[in-house]
Amino acid sequence: MTQQEGWPKIAVVGAGAVGGYFGGMLARAGAPVVMIGRPVFVEAVKKSGLFLDTLQLQESVRVEASTELSAVRGAEIVLFCVKTTDNATTRALAPLLLPGALVLSMQNGVDNVEQIRAGARVAVLPAVVCVGASVPEPGRVKHVGRGDLVIGPENEKTKRIAALFSRAQVPCRISENIEGELWTKLVWNCALNAVSALGRAKYGQIASSSDAWKVVETAVYEVLAVAGAAGIHPPGLEDPKVALAGALKIATQMAEALSSTGQDLNRGKRTEIDSLNGYISRRGAELGVRTPVNHALFALVKLAEGRS
Amino acid sequence: MTQQEGWPKIAVVGAGAVGGYFGGMLARAGAPVVMIGRPVFVEAVKKSGLFLDTLQLQESVRVEASTELSAVRGAEIVLFCVKTTDNATTRALAPLLLPGALVLSMQNGVDNVEQIRAGARVAVLPAVVCVGASVPEPGRVKHVGRGDLVIGPENEKTKRIAALFSRAQVPCRISENIEGELWTKLVWNCALNAVSALGRAKYGQIASSSDAWKVVETAVYEVLAVAGAAGIHPPGLEDPKVALAGALKIATQMAEALSSTGQDLNRGKRTEIDSLNGYISRRGAELGVRTPVNHALFALVKLAEGRS
């Protein structure tokens, strides 16, 4: 019996911090994993494997790596970890997949499944990803906190996925309110990402400025109002004060973090703001809920994109 | 009869683009002008005079220049052109002035006179400054548009000031609604300055983004709501649509401009945002008028200050 017995073939599309961590944990447990990423990543992994530097272990893991999307051929499960701005990738992905293959969207935002389904005929499930991780150098993943998933609702597919991750020591909870769970993460992202980017500030600096925190508050209230109008119930956030306490906890725990949106702006890259405050602005307009602050955060980040 | 006959001694405190242009025009007409500025400015002016590069003329003008505030001694009129963040300068200025000397605040914002009076016993009048000017190098002022003043209401003091400027070919109108006139300029500043700074965008880029322009619109509506609650009537802006058309005209005419707030952020300097969107946020809170977008623009610029 080989270590790989019983594992499906798994492909990671977009081998950054998220794809690297979760794909790496599966590979470490024995799953046959192929990671599709940039040339520098592929070169590093082919040479020395993928180095997982986690809170629990430091270990080089053997994975296949390719720059070609066609390397997904034969995969039963695809961890889809590209930025939301690259959702159209699934159009090229769809024809390469086995019948019955499952794409797991491990992205920010709440409308990736909708976007992916609109563009390609693939079976796709959303996952809420909670992990603090970065790529300090190609082929290396540094994990600094959490590392768990929420999927749902419970059915044969989600139970199988949860079992696979559990076997790889990755906590994977099944929720009957997966949409609400996605929105909970959206609340945090809408609260902090753009403020950090536009204010060129770390989370701790936002938390310690009462004026900046008032912006976070207004943004959170707007997101919860849109959620309410859309009939979504982000678990645990029924009371806006609890939501704000949660945002403050994140900002304090991650005091030294600059948001991914801020990092993208500084590198002159496109951000995911369309899927974050931009989504709230659009959805609020559809539902007749005013979202002036989310709209401003979205529009200002868009304006600043490519002008680092 | 010398050219200087009939002119009062005039001091410019803060010899940047505004002080340089208006002080330079007075000096050119024959007024004895002393300009207080930074060492590089004083050195350049002492060596070669102040060079006025205007739409009408290119000419080197003889002015006195000093780095010392005490050089204001003997001045009857002080053109006060420092940033609003330096309003406390008047505390040191007051004891140096002649009895009856007049300080003309040529600054952005609507509460400089109040701030200056709170800190020092000086006679101070506000002026609304409309000029496109910059300092391409120390001792040189480049003038690209307008160059006129509004003061008021009509009385002996304002008539004298208006006559002095008119003698120097500077249009100076007297208004019976000077507070409203100051607010008109505040509307433009609150509309464009912070959006340009946070979006790292020139005015033309703001005007050509419908999402960004919606932020400008909301900011303008909020400022006009605060003005209404405060009993202020910015002339010509009774109809918000007219106000927005005015903002669009400015943004289009000055398409290549990055706001002074943006320039300050890029140089790691303090901005005047406390006197612009920050003033609207504070005044709105006092008057019970919601100003979420002005508050966000203010708080984000404050957060970004010193983090260029």
Q: Average pLDDT, stretch A280-303?
A: 98
Q: Tell me the per-residue pLDDT of A52-107, one tens digit each, with 9 for 90 and over.
A: 999 999 999 999 999 999 999 999 999 999 999 999 999 999 999 999 999 999 99
DSSP states of A113-182: HHHHHHH---EEEE-EEEEEEEEEETTEEEEEEEEEEEE-S-SHHHHHHHHHHHHTT--EEE-S-HHHHH
Report A:180-219 residues touching B (Cβ under 8 A). Answer: 195, 198-201, 205-206, 209, 211-212, 214-215, 218
Q: Chain B residues with CB inside 8 Å of A215's CB?
A: 295-296, 299-300
Q: Chain B residues with CB inside 8 Å of A273's CB?
A: none
Q: Is the pLDDT of residue A38 over 90?
A: yes
pTM value surpassing 0.90: yes
Give the pLDDT band (50/70/90) at residue A306.
confident
Distance from CA of B60 to the nearest CA of A (A): 38
Test A296 with B296 for CB contact under 8 angstroms: yes
Q: Is the pLDDT of residue A2 over 60?
A: no
Q: Average pLDDT, stretch A23-36?
A: 98
Give the pLDDT band (50/70/90) at residue A308.
low
Closest residue, chain B, to A222 (C-alpha): B292
Give me chain B's average pLDDT, please.
96
Please give the pLDDT value at position A307: 79
Q: Give percent of chain B above pLDDT 90.
A: 95
Q: Chain A residues with CB inside 8 Å of B195's CB?
A: 300, 303
Distance from CA of A307 to the nearest CA of B (A): 6
Residue B4 forms contact with A (CB below 8 Å) = no
Q: Tell me the per-residue pLDDT of A173-205, one tens digit each, with 9 for 90 and over.
A: 999 999 999 999 999 999 999 999 999 999 999
Report yes or no: B282 and B224 within 8 Å, Cβ to Cβ: no
Closest residue, chain B, to A208 (C-alpha): B303
Please give the pLDDT value at position A5: 78
Give me chain A's average pLDDT, please.
96
Residue B297 forms contact with A (CB below 8 Å) = yes
Q: Tell me the per-residue pLDDT of B87-135, one tens digit each, with 9 for 90 and over.
A: 999 999 999 999 999 999 999 999 999 999 998 999 999 999 999 999 9
